[in-house]
Chains A and B, each alone.
Chain A
C-alpha cells in the first residue's frame, strides 16, 4: 500500500492508527516530562528523562508520517488540535498525582511504574505486530522504535517486579496503582471505531489477538510475582480512540502548547 494508490477508507484507517500511536506516546511522554527532577533518585531521573525523550521522538516520527499524508504541519498537529481530536487512551492523560509540576507535586511513583510498565508491554506487542504493516513508512518507523523500546520495557519491568515483591508498604501501593490503572487500561488495548478497516488494510493484526498477547504476558508476570490476575482491564471513563477524554487532557494540552499558541505563525 502506498500514498498514491491507497483507497480513501484505507487512508482513513491509516491516519486513525497513526494518531493513536502518536498521541499515546506524545501524551505519556508529556506526563513523564512533568516528573523531571522529582524521581525517587538521581539515577532514575536520568533514565526516566531519557525514556521520555525517546517517546517524544517516537511521537514526532508518527506526526511526520501524518504530515506526509497531508494532515498538516507536524508542529501544528501536535500543538493545535482540540482535545476531542486526540486519540490517546484516557489512562495515559491522567495527572501524575495531586499538585502541578511547578507547585506542590505529590506525585505517585507506584502509579508511574504501573502505567509505564503496562504501556511498555502493550507498545512492544503493537510494534512487533507492525512488522507486517502494509504501509512501508510505518513498518520502517516501527522497526526503529522497537530498538529503543526493548530497553524501556526492561527498565519498567525491573521496577515493577522489584517494588511489588518488596516491603508491605511498597506492595500495598503497587496493588492500589494496579487497581487504578486496570479500570481504564482497556483503552490502550483497543484500535477504536475504525478497527475493522485498520485490520482489513493489513496495517496491524487483529485487536483481539493483540489484547490476548498482552493478557497472556501480564498473567504470567502476575503469577511470577505472586499477585492475583484481575482478568481483562476495563474502559470505565470512555474510549480515547473515539475522542472521549477527561479534563486532564485539556490541562495537558494547554500546558504543552502554551508558548506555541502565543503565535503559531512565528519561528520558535
Chain B
C-alpha cells in the first residue's frame, strides 16, 4: 500500500492484494480486519462445522457417560465430554464473530443444523453400541482430530488458531483417556478383547472417511484447496490420512488387533501407506444427515432446543428489564 493512501480508498483488487500479502508474510487476521468475502465464508463454513461437530460429537459418548464401568472411568469420561462441549462453545463464539457482519447469530447456526444445511463430522453420525466404542472414539477419533487440527495451529485466522491451541492441548488428554480404556480391554478377558476388535471393525471405515476424500474429484468441491491457498490449513486430506496411519497402524498391531483391511501396508518405495479406499458416495450420504444415527442425534438436539424455548424466552425477558 502506498503511504498516504487510506485503506478504504483502495479498490477491491488492491484490498485483496494487501490481504494476501499480509497472510503470505505470516501475519494473523483478526475478527475486525478487512477480509475477502470468500475468506470469511470459508472460515464460517469450516469453524461452524468444527464447532457443531464438537457439540454433536458429545452425543455418541454421552451414551456411555452414565454407564462408564468404574468411578474412575465415570469421572474421566464426564470430564472428557465436558471438554468437548467447551470446545464447541469456544468455536461457536469464533464463528459468531465472523457471522455478525452478515446479521447472523447462533440461532442461525442451530436452524442450519436442524435443516441439515450445516454438516457435522461423519464419525458422529455412527453408532456406538458398546463400551468398546467409547474407548475407540476417545483413542482413534480424537487421535485423528488432533492430527487434522494440529496442522491449523498456525492458521492465518488468529482467533481460530488461538482456540485450536487450547483445544489440541485438551485433546491430548482425551486420546490418553481413550488409550487407557483400550489398554484395559486389550489386556482383559476374551470377551473384552472381542468388544474391542468389534469396535475397531465398526470404526475403521469411518476413520478413513474422517479426513475427507483425496481430491475434489470425489466431492465436486474444492474447499480444502481454497483453505490451503488462504493458509487456513497447510496439508491435504491425504497427507493427514497418511500421518494418521503412520502414528496409529503400528500401535493397533502392537495390541494384537486386526485392521479390517487385509491390503493395508507401508510401501517403502513410494513411502506411502497403501490401503483399501472407502465408498465416498456413502460418505456424502452420511454427512448429509443420512447416517445410521443422524436422525436420533439431531432429534436429541432439536428436542432439547424446543423443550427449552421457554427458558431462552425467560432469560431474554430478564435481560430486557
Given contacts A49-B82, A104-B303, A267-B187, contact A169 B68 (CB under 8 A): no
Neighbouring A residues of B75 by C-beta, 8 Å: 53, 56-57, 60
B89 located at the interface, meaning its Cβ lies under 8 Å from any Cβ of chain A in the complex: yes
Contact of B81 with A103 in the complex, beta carbons under 8 Å: no
> How many Å from the CB of B18 to the closest CB on chain A?
36
Interface residues of B: mostly helix, strand, loop or mixed?
A: helix
Please name all residues of chain B whose beta carbon is closer than 8 Å to the beta carbon of A53 when the two chains form the complex: 75, 78-79, 82
Are A256 and B67 in contact, with the CB atoms below 8 A?
yes
Residues of B within 8 A of A260 (CB): 69-70
The interface stretch among B164-172, B249-257, B312-320 is: B312-320
CB of A226 within 8 Å of the partner chain = no
Question: Is the CB of A106 closer than 8 A to any CB of chain B?
Answer: yes
A255 B67 Cβ-Cβ under 8 A: yes
* Least distance between B321 CB and chain A CB atoms (Å): 9
Using Cβ atoms and an 8 Å threshold, which residues of chain B touch A45? 58, 85
* Cβ proximity bits B50-79 to A, threshold 8 Å, 1 near / 0 not: 000001001100111111111101110011
Question: Does B92 reach chain A (CB closer than 8 Å)?
Answer: yes
Does B301 interact with chain A (Cβ within 8 Å)? Answer: yes
Chain A 17-61, CB-CB to B under 8 Å as 1, else 0, gives 000000000000010011011111111011001101100110110
B216 at interface, CB cutoff 8 A = no
Q: Does B304 contact A (CB under 8 A)?
A: yes
In the complex with contacts A37-B304, A60-B75, A170-B310 CB distance below 8 A: yes
Let me know if B82 and A40 touch, CB within 8 A.
Answer: no
Q: Is the CB of B300 within 8 A of A167?
A: no
A77 — nearest CB in chain B belongs to which residue? B71
Closest to A258 in B: B67
Residues of A within 8 A of B313 (CB): 167, 169-170
Instruction: Tell me if A74 is interfacial: C-beta within 8 Å of chain B.
Output: yes
In the assembled complex, the CB of A163 is this many whole angstroms from the nearest CB of chain B, namely 5
Pairwise interchain contact A166-B317, C-beta atoms closer than 8 A: yes
| Identity of the chain A residue whose Cβ is nearest the Cβ of B54 in the assembled complex | A42
User: Contacts A36-B81, A162-B318: A255 and B311 contacting too (C-beta < 8 A)?
Assistant: no
Contact B71 A78 (CB under 8 A): yes
Is B192 on the interface with A (CB-CB < 8 A)? yes
Which residues in B have their C-beta under 8 angstroms from that of A169? 310, 313-314
Residue pair A268, B86 in contact (C-beta under 8 Å):
no
Q: Are B311 and A42 in contact (CB under 8 A)?
A: no
- The residue of chain B having its C-beta at the shortest distance from the C-beta of A50 within the complex is B82
Digit string of B180-191 for contact with A (CB within 8 Å is 1, else 0)?
010011011101
Distance between Cα atoms of A33 and B314 in the complex (Å): 24
Residues from chain A with Cβ under 8 Å of B55 in the complex? 37, 42
| Residues of A237-263 whose CB lies within 8 A of B | 255-256, 258-260, 262-263
Q: Are B63 and A268 in contact (CB under 8 A)?
A: no
From B67, B81, B188, B303, A105 is in contact (CB under 8 Å) with B303
CA distance A105 to B308 in the complex (A): 12
B314:A163 contact, CB within 8 angstroms: yes
Task: Give the residues in chain B near A59, CB-CB below 8 Å.
Answer: 71
Question: Is B88 on the interface with A (CB-CB < 8 A)?
Answer: yes
Is the Cβ of A37 less than 8 Å from the Cβ of B314? no
Can you report 12 A-B residue pairs in the complex whose CB atoms are below 8 A from each other? A33-B66, A33-B78, A37-B59, A37-B62, A49-B78, A49-B82, A79-B69, A79-B70, A101-B66, A104-B303, A173-B310, A263-B189
Q: A53-B75, A167-B314, A266-B188 are known contacts; what are 19 more A-B pairs with Cβ within 8 Å?
A: A36-B62, A37-B300, A37-B301, A40-B315, A42-B89, A49-B78, A49-B82, A52-B78, A60-B71, A75-B70, A78-B71, A102-B296, A107-B307, A162-B314, A169-B310, A170-B310, A259-B131, A263-B189, A266-B192
Q: Which residues does A use to contact B, with CB under 8 Å? A: 30, 33-34, 36-43, 45-46, 49-50, 52-53, 56-57, 59-60, 63, 74-75, 78-79, 101-109, 162-163, 165-167, 169-170, 173, 255-256, 258-260, 262-263, 266-268
